Structure 1
Amino acid sequence: MTHVQQARTGRKPVPAPGRPPESSRFERPVSPTEWLYLAGGRLAPPFAVQIVVEGTGTIAPDALRRAVDEASEACPGARLRRRGRIWTDSGRPPAVRTVDRLGAALRAPLAPGDGRSCEVAVRTEGATTTLVFRVHHAVMDARGALAWTADVFRALRGEAPVGAPSPLYDLALLDALGGAHREPAAPRWRSPLAGVRHGRAPRWQRRTLHGTHPGLVAKTAAALADLAPGATRVMVPVDLRRHRPQLRSTANLSLPVFLDGGAGAPWEQWHEQLLRALAERRELAVGEEESAARLPLAPLAALLTAAHTATAAAGRYPCSALVTTLGRIGPDEVSAPGFEARTVYSLPVQAPFVPLSFTAVECAGRTELAMSHPGGPRADTRAAALLDAVCEALSPRARRRPVAAGPRRSVPPLTLTALLRQQVDRAPDAVALTGPDGTVTYGELDRHSDVVAAELRRRGVGRGAVVGLLADRTAKAVAGLWGVLKAGAAYLPLDPAHPSARIAAVLADAGASHCLTDSTYRALPGPDCPAIVLDELPVSGAQPHPGTAGPDDAAYVIYTSGSTGRPKGVVVEHRALVNYTHWATDRYRIDATTRFALFTSLAFDLTGTTLFAPLAAGGSIALVPDEPDHRTLRHLLTRSGANALKLTPAHLDLLTTLGIEPRSFRVLVVGGEQLRGPVAARAQRMFGPDCRIVNEYGPTEATIGCIVHTFDPERDGDLPAVPIGLPVDNTEAYLLDADGRFTGAGEVGEIHLAGAQLARGYLGRPDLDRERFGHLADGTRVYRTGDLAQLTDAGVLRCLGRTDDQLSVRGHRIEPGEVAAALERHPGVRRAVVTARPPRSGAEPVLCAYVTGTAAPDELRTHAARQLPAYLVPAAVHVLDAFPWTVNGKVDVRALPDPFARPRPAADVRAAAAPADDAKDGHRPPESGRDPVAAAVAAIWARVLDDPDLHLAPQDDFHRLGGDSLTLLRMLAAVAADVVGPAAEPAFDARLRDLIRQPTLDHVCAAARQALATRPTEHP
């Protein structure tokens, strides 16, 4: 059997009489293709496939050697040496070399004849480590090299290698697949480097493009054709493993198809050619490899050298370029303990008779495009221009920029404590805080916060620490916040209304060393986090504390809903907050006469505008400690002295129902969810034309607010959603499509934010950091918001929904997975699905849950309320026998039933609304059976819920009808105004807390009757 026959069949030769049987080790023939590669490697060393992995961290040399040994045992193709025309397993693992100069290592020759066909080169510089997996092309193709590389990292992670034990290679597989013979083609295609003198030494150039690029091969071919003289032929290697998906072999299993075209042909034509070639399986063909393999290696190398010299002199090659794509490689696939991969790319083989070679790898949302070409000064310049042209075809430079950017402005490298210190020094006797307990000056706030800082420092709290803040909206809470910052620590705001289990879990997750509390909540932090009671600290007496934090230190950690059921802490630094504060004081025209009202939770990052901006500008904060309802909001608007508000659109909508016309307000900053034009228009009429309404967009991860738009009643009043506008100072917004490519004018893309206000990341969650915080190809750090947007013809951004399941309900970002996980912790629930649905047509969506199991809806809402904040408790819970499924095996959300459907027949509203047991409140229903109080309250429910056909029963719960916390407040305000009246309103207001906890129709009616009974009797 000849060597060619052996290569063709894949069978080993029978040993001659008297010869010992061949070793049981891995062996296979050198195929004709590989014989050519061995000869060509002498002409263009190193003739190697080189997979480069760049990342941060280090890998211990001994651990890497063990991993290479283990992976090479599973992939014996990495240990081959040549014995004549047979590859055999040498049993010796590839070398691992530590190198100082990566360039020299990339050009170092490999010696497959001596068993040095593969190696790993490692270079560490600072925090960056680069690993290069090098394989001589005679023993592996790029897919084989990737298989071996992936197994090395599996071994480093302690996982079992997948292995590639098959000896199958290209021609043997072709026999099995019924391959054909390819007709030889005359070398008539000119090089894109035609007319440029160059040498043989390979050179590499690389570009990184953001996103993935469908049609990359065709677009590359079209770009080259437009720049190359005459006709262009592009060679595209095709992996034969596509015909045997389960095949695990590192051998050369790639054969080419050829695409032909000329300048001006659109890339779609090239793409059609490629698809047709693949459909017709044109790669299953061989050319002149078998004839060449009949020659001994040295004469074949000499023949190739002469032919290549003549070809290069004439500038006419068998093809113009080679273009291949290796697909997608996830960074996790090539990461290991202590080493986190950032990117992967492949340096193409510089082969004889191929003037240019391109290799593309998709990794971490980017496309790494590398090119090899013969070296030489003019060749380098010309090749770089060609590579830039290919990049321009894939990602036009005009799109590689922010779709909108805020002004570049210098911001002093200060901390928040430094901003407060400036105001204290400027006007220590100016009022900083107002509230029910009187006023607090800047000097008093400064001295009280010094006391808190001193106490924290005495307990060992300093830079890098996290301190909980569990308090109502009081002067002591504000002083506590500033005291934490002065101590150099980060504060963790907590909402006392949240379940105690959640408060304890967040403190533990954040690693809080202590928790500042009001005396009312001293027991809530739990035994694992020492409480410091603010009420028990003196208000002065400590030495002034200058503050020890720097601009890059954390200022606060705020927890938001988490998709896995675990809340996530966002770490925001002083630098980001100072940038926002400087911008906000300017844009919102905040000065010493500005007073913001603080009535939202300290644990809501929207509150940051109120906490920081006025104090940085010498203004003041009006503290509103009571929970917002119609009483407190009316007092806020008319008697607090406030002239500025930061609030959600839902709060703004509620304010417009109070029947007040405040005229002293200068600015309303609205954020947290989508602002509807009609709501903003009503508010503009209510507050007057001199009050600016600003729509502020900003996820927690981008520090309070980063894109803004001032509402224009004429332009925006009828819009379903007011535009979010343009970025703030030192902030950029990019819009990227689903493939990560930059969008053009009018196209929809996901908002990616960059600039000075990005958070440090998620506390202790590197997995989430990798998912949400990334870098563009040019190194720009960005945050993926998940929000879709479009740049309008007016040049402003408008939001168009989400790319994921995250919901926004009443200003809160909600991950449905967190709510579902809480429900599934109930023993009577098998599975839970959470979504947002409107309770009726035209209404705002509310949180709804669907479960399978044995638990009752009321039981599950109570269970959720014990674990989750009120805004995460579903308004409706629907128990199903089974979920509807899509053909893809997912829950069909669209097929879920309406949780607000009311099965009972319609009845007269007033009759149905009659109380079930009114005698307990000392009032009997009218003998006619028609109760005017119940009828009036039912009418208000129908109006507030925007359902004129609503039919009610006494036990109906406002929440189950689709009402949420703010529509509930609106309903109670209407009952107080329209049913109870001013004289009896104080008595009704005294029961508000009970009604908020249990808002059933009969309870509201009973409270209204009881209040009416307190009115003074009128005598004629």
Structure 2
Amino acid sequence: MTADVRDAVTAPADTGYRRAVSATDWWFVAHPRRIPPVIQTVVEGTGTVDVAALTAAVAAAGAANPGSRLRRQGQWWVDSGRAPGVRVIDGCTGPIADVAALHDPLPTPDGAWCEVLWCPGDRPALVFRASHAVMDGRGKAMWIADVFRALRGEPLAGATGTVTDGDVFDRLGITNAESKPDVWFPSPLGRPGRGRRTVWARRTVDGYHPALTAKVAAALRDAYGLDTARFAVAFDLRRHAPETRTTGNLLQTELFDLEAGEPWEALHERLLAAMAQRREVTWRLDPNLLKMPVPALRTLIRFMESGRKDRHASATVLSHLGRADLAEHSTATFEARTTYLLPLLAAVSAPEVNTVECGGRTELTLTWRDGPGVKERMEAVLDAVASSLAPPAPRPAVVDAAPGWTVVDRFAEVVAAHPDAVALRWPGGSMTFAELDARSDVVAARLAAGGVGRGAVVGLLADRSMWTIAGLWGVLKAGAAYLPLDAGHPDARIAALLADAGAAVCLVRAADAARTPAGCTTVVLDDLPADGANPVAVKPSGGDLAYVIYTSGSTGAPKGVEIEHRALANYADWAGRVFAVDEDTHFALFTSPAFDLPNTALFLSTLAGGTLVLVPGEPSHVTLRHLLEESGANALKLTPSHLDLIGRLDVAPAGFRLLVVGGEPLRPAVAARAKAQFGSGTRLFNHYGPTEATVGCVVHAHHAGRYDTATVPIGRPAANCAVHVLDADRRPVAECGTGELHIGGAQLARGYRGRPDLTSERFVRLADGTRVYRTGDLARVLPSGEIECLGRADDQVKIAGHRVEPAEVAAALEAHPEVQRAVVVARPAPAGAGKVLCAYVAAYPGTDLEELRAFLAGSLPRYLLPASLHRVDAFPQTPNGKIDLSALPAPFAGAATLNEDADDVRDAVAKVWAKVLDVDPGRIDGGTDFHQLGGDSVLLLAMLAGVCDEVVGAAGEAAFMAELGRIIRRPTLDGVSAVARETLQTTDEGAP
């Protein structure tokens, strides 16, 4: 009987939500309370959840997902109108799996089939519990997502579908009911004890793992030591009912065998083939089960449990719940760190492995019933599975504790030890440490009098003068954080950064007093007395903010990086030792203090009792010549571009002992020329580190001799810091393999100011809980153990040492009234040295491009201004509607050249990939793996269907799909294209 007919004949008079009880539901309904089939999703995190707000959110989500608040009327589920309960479980000091409430049966005494537990404590967690009678894991995920949406105040997606697994079986024509298995398996984990209490083991593995179910199955078979392992693999039937969103039971298992020695690829191929042929499920629970009264079925279940103590249809049930976005499980006060399942097993169930991918990690939980030696066996088995997915690799050690002092503490020590030593020197003047201390005390006292203290951010409109240095130390002494602003930036940008950072006060020079926006208190440094203030009674701690520096943003707006004192102290302590900075070291400050590259000079000389040499004026060949030949500086922190420029100048650097180079890739030829120009007595270091890792956290000491790499290696990590090279699925790469560089340790930023979404996206957790920053830089570990940086994994580029997100420039262009849309890309510079920004605008005919340049200059710093600007009538598009970057006009020539070696078949396949994955075809090359672009098993099927439809045609479909195993083994663009090409050659379909 179909759902429509059943509704018309037997539906109750109830006009609200109602869903038929399926045979699967009925089986779970009849379970005795001592064997509660409860599925439990844990969301662990940090922070807190307001219980009243949670209760309201659960109620709102219940209205949108009535499957969470059902009651049973005979063989119908109806909406009770009563929200699931919320319970607070106090005293959660250990693992969530130890919480006794996780063993409570459902429904609750008041008849609720779902509930939510809030477990505050050292590992705060929300536990969403639902009886398997009303939900499966995939359906429950819809309800959970809506609870968090309600907590965030967002619109709810809702799930009100009434399709049951029985309806789907009818659609698929599956009529054969469950038959007796031909093999009964004893549990490979050991016989359950008398109490049969559920126990869990859990592991977290780095990265995502394509073909996860097959890989887990193969690892389990080996860990169990079985010649033949039979697995019950759970499939989600929702793909056969795409028109509905339902929280109900639409998961069904199918049995698959894996023989000893058989590779996981063989099982993966069988799983995909079954799905491709729509035969992943071949049986259904007997609908006649609905004819059994609940008491009779409950008696049968008790008999089966007692009569078949340790006999099961499979060795293990495998269920992959997909990929969870932790941002969707977070709120303004609670940040999700991970999510996993802790189910209570149903009657006669085999051991169960549930997997969830989240946050660049894979969570595995193994569930079985307790018994003698069972827990130990479970732990050993899960260790083996985890090791097979991600073989243990040496984890970079972070051994030493970060310094227990702050830069303010160290500055006070230096002043006490060297009051009369020269702290600052500039053309025509100097200042001692005692004088700098007194002036900064005046600044701190003025800020404190205005209510500025710990937690506040103070703007510092910075130039390279003693006023700026006194202001910086004054802000830190007041316990506040400084926000350096470049006086050369447009007023609009200065105002925007002050507002975004929430800076209510700005320190300025007299010449810039009128440049701060209304509502921001201006303190003119020139007007403050030189001394006479008592030190403020504030001592910043390691967790306080030291500074906020803005970098270019991929979303079109700059983002403020928050650096704490402990991170700055770790950098100053480590770098001072590595660079051997002492009181005779005189760093020059000649680049803008609005970025963190000059922080090496700002802090290292001063904290060692040395002299900071201030070089006014914009960097140029003139200022560089003065700096190198006359300033008395003997240490420099600069970019490779500056170093390259110096090498091309007719200058004779005098007396330099230290060069620290960072901000861009350093070419060996540039480094060698610098060593020759500055002299063999000058030590040169290649210094790497994004702003988010506090100035620099990896260093390489340049040596004489040949470099076999395209760029000088960036070296080894700082003390208390670690680097990890991970692949696109966040798994460690093999030695010399290419991956994205992730940084961890003491120098990590707190995050992005006011941007929790971006913070959680870029600052992530590894499997062991280590917090790391995703740099976006590609790298590899050389046989020497040093790291080589290989460029960017995204659109970000370095322009003159500054991080540049082209999207920020495009957003500024689109703010112009005559620009409908803008695209900004990085292209090789005409001279072939580095990259430059090139902008394209869809604008009205007659748009004055020079006026548009002037408009940009009014809101962006110079390093963000594009090198070329072109007007187009419309942007060329790829077949999936994205802008075709390769078809944009060449920025420095008349027209782009066409690829004469185009491969029609490969291009056609690439278009299918682009459509299925919603990616730019330009991202796909011959060696690209389908999974690396975000493809999963279902999307792979969609891709194969697209190739059949759009490339090989109906005549070639059978031949193409006959090579499914070959495609699965090599799911690259070249691999799929080769099969398609061969198929076309054997049919009359012709080329696409």
Task: Please give the range of the TM-score, normalised by the shorter of the 2 chains.
Answer: 0.7 to 0.9
Pick from 229, 234, 250 the counterpart of residue 237 of structure 1. 234
Pick from 826, 831, 835 the counterpart of residue 825 of structure 2. 835
Counterpart contact for 2:24–2:285, Cα < 8 Å = no
Pick from 600, 608, 619 the counterpart of residue 609 of structure 1. 600
Give yes or no for the alignment of 1:886 onto 2:878: yes
Cα offset for 1:541?
2.5
Give yes or no for the alignment of 1:775 onto 2:770: no
Counterpart contact for 1:190–1:231, Cα < 8 Å = no
Deviations for 1:90-138, whole angstroms, at most 9, x for unmatched residues? 4433333333376222111113897432222333337x64332222112
Q: Which residue in the other structure is 1:203 paired with?
A: 199
- In 2: Cα distance, 1:614 partner to 1:21 partner: 82
Deviations for 1:163-182, whole angstroms, at most 9, x for unmatched residues? 33333211222112211426
Q: Which residue in the other structure is 2:865 paired with?
A: 873
Q: Which residue in the other structure is 1:853 paired with?
A: 843
Counterpart contact for 2:444–2:535, Cα < 8 Å = no
Change in 2 beyond 3 A, CA 1:11/1:592: same
Counterpart contact for 2:45–2:124, Cα < 8 Å = yes
User: Match of 1:398, SS?
Assistant: coil
Change in 2 beyond 3 A, CA 1:308/1:762: same
Pick from 104, 109, 115 the counterpart of residue 108 of structure 1. 104
Pick from 457, 482, 487 the counterpart of residue 491 of structure 1. 482
Pick from 302, 315, 320 the counterpart of residue 320 of structure 1. 315
Give yes or no for the alignment of 1:708 onto 2:699: yes
Q: Which residue in the other structure is 1:548 paired with?
A: 539
User: Match of 1:558, SS?
Assistant: strand
Cα offset for 1:388?
1.7
Give yes or no for the alignment of 1:430 onto 2:432: no
Give yes or no for the alignment of 1:134 onto 2:125: no
Counterpart contact for 1:669–1:693, Cα < 8 Å = yes
Cα offset for 1:662?
2.5
Q: Which residue in the other structure is 2:338 paired with?
A: 343
Runs of 4+ in 1 over 6 A off after TM superposition: 6-10
Change in 2 beyond 3 A, CA 1:192/1:9: farther
Letter in 2 for 1:783: Y
- In 2: Cα distance, 1:294 partner to 1:521 partner: 86
User: Match of 2:144, SS?
Assistant: helix
Counterpart contact for 2:666–2:711, Cα < 8 Å = yes
Cα offset for 1:455?
2.2
- In 2: Cα distance, 1:569 partner to 1:153 partner: 27
- In 2: Cα distance, 1:334 partner to 1:476 partner: 47
Cα offset for 1:28?
4.1
Pick from 204, 207, 214 the counterpart of residue 210 of structure 2. 214
Pick from 161, 166, 189 the counterpart of residue 171 of structure 1. 166
Counterpart contact for 1:189–1:316, Cα < 8 Å = yes
Q: How does 1:482-881 map to 2 (within 5 A)?
A: 482-544=473-535, 548-716=539-707, 719-840=709-830, 842-854=832-844, 855-881=847-873
Counterpart contact for 2:193–2:370, Cα < 8 Å = no
- In 1: Cα distance, 2:417 partner to 2:143 partner: 67
Change in 2 beyond 3 A, CA 1:454/1:133: closer
Q: Which residue in the other structure is 1:266 paired with?
A: 263
Cα offset for 1:533?
2.1
Letter in 2 for 1:630: H
Change in 2 beyond 3 A, CA 1:859/1:99: same
- In 1: Cα distance, 2:169 partner to 2:534 partner: 85
Change in 2 beyond 3 A, CA 1:502/1:309: same
- In 1: Cα distance, 2:235 partner to 2:534 partner: 74
- In 2: Cα distance, 1:678 partner to 1:252 partner: 65
Letter in 2 for 1:479: A
Counterpart contact for 2:628–2:654, Cα < 8 Å = no
Change in 2 beyond 3 A, CA 1:590/1:319: same
Letter in 2 for 1:226: D
Counterpart contact for 2:69–2:80, Cα < 8 Å = yes
Change in 2 beyond 3 A, CA 1:735/1:373: same
The RMSD of aligned alpha carbons is 2.5
- How many residues align? The count is 885
Counterpart contact for 1:649–1:670, Cα < 8 Å = yes
Pick from 183, 187, 202 the counterpart of residue 187 of structure 1. 183
Deviations for 1:6-33, whole angstroms, at most 9, x for unmatched residues? 6999726957xxxx97444444443222
Counterpart contact for 2:838–2:869, Cα < 8 Å = yes
Give yes or no for the alignment of 1:224 onto 2:216: no
Counterpart contact for 1:467–1:512, Cα < 8 Å = yes
Cα offset for 1:45?
2.0
Cα offset for 1:151?
3.1
Q: How does 1:11-160 map to 2 (within 5 A)?
A: 11=6, 22-39=13-30, 41-42=31-32, 45-100=35-90, 103-111=99-107, 115-125=111-121, 129-160=124-155
Cα offset for 1:259?
1.4
Counterpart contact for 1:10–1:172, Cα < 8 Å = no
Letter in 2 for 1:333: E
- In 2: Cα distance, 1:799 partner to 1:57 partner: 36
- In 2: Cα distance, 1:730 partner to 1:863 partner: 45
TM-score when normalising by structure 1: 0.83
Counterpart contact for 1:678–1:719, Cα < 8 Å = no
Change in 2 beyond 3 A, CA 1:865/1:24: closer
Counterpart contact for 2:117–2:128, Cα < 8 Å = yes
- In 2: Cα distance, 1:413 partner to 1:287 partner: 65
- In 2: Cα distance, 1:655 partner to 1:298 partner: 89
- The percentage of aligned residue pairs carrying the same residue is 51
Deviations for 1:519-546, whole angstroms, at most 9, x for unmatched residues? 2222222332222222222222323457
User: Match of 1:350, SS?
Assistant: coil
Change in 2 beyond 3 A, CA 1:594/1:240: same
Change in 2 beyond 3 A, CA 1:795/1:67: closer
Letter in 2 for 1:149: I
User: Match of 1:660, SS?
Assistant: coil
Counterpart contact for 1:417–1:547, Cα < 8 Å = no
Change in 2 beyond 3 A, CA 1:487/1:117: closer
- In 2: Cα distance, 1:12 partner to 1:850 partner: 58
Cα offset for 1:651?
0.6
- In 2: Cα distance, 1:120 partner to 1:472 partner: 56
Counterpart contact for 2:683–2:702, Cα < 8 Å = yes
Cα offset for 1:646?
0.6
| Gap regions ≥5 residues in structure 1 | 1-5, 904-1020
User: Match of 2:373, SS?
Assistant: helix
Change in 2 beyond 3 A, CA 1:304/1:782: same
Cα offset for 1:441?
1.7
- In 2: Cα distance, 1:688 partner to 1:630 partner: 20
Cα offset for 1:502?
1.1
Counterpart contact for 1:432–1:441, Cα < 8 Å = yes
Deviations for 1:339-373, whole angstroms, at most 9, x for unmatched residues? 44333222234123333111112223322222210
Change in 2 beyond 3 A, CA 1:409/1:110: closer
- In 2: Cα distance, 1:21 partner to 1:697 partner: 70
User: Match of 1:836, SS?
Assistant: strand
Change in 2 beyond 3 A, CA 1:183/1:641: same
- In 1: Cα distance, 2:143 partner to 2:770 partner: 32
Letter in 1 for 2:200: W
Cα offset for 1:334?
3.2
Counterpart contact for 2:192–2:369, Cα < 8 Å = no
Cα offset for 1:195?
5.9
Q: Which residue in the other structure is 1:936 paired with?
A: none
Counterpart contact for 1:232–1:262, Cα < 8 Å = yes
Change in 2 beyond 3 A, CA 1:812/1:179: same
Letter in 2 for 1:289: D
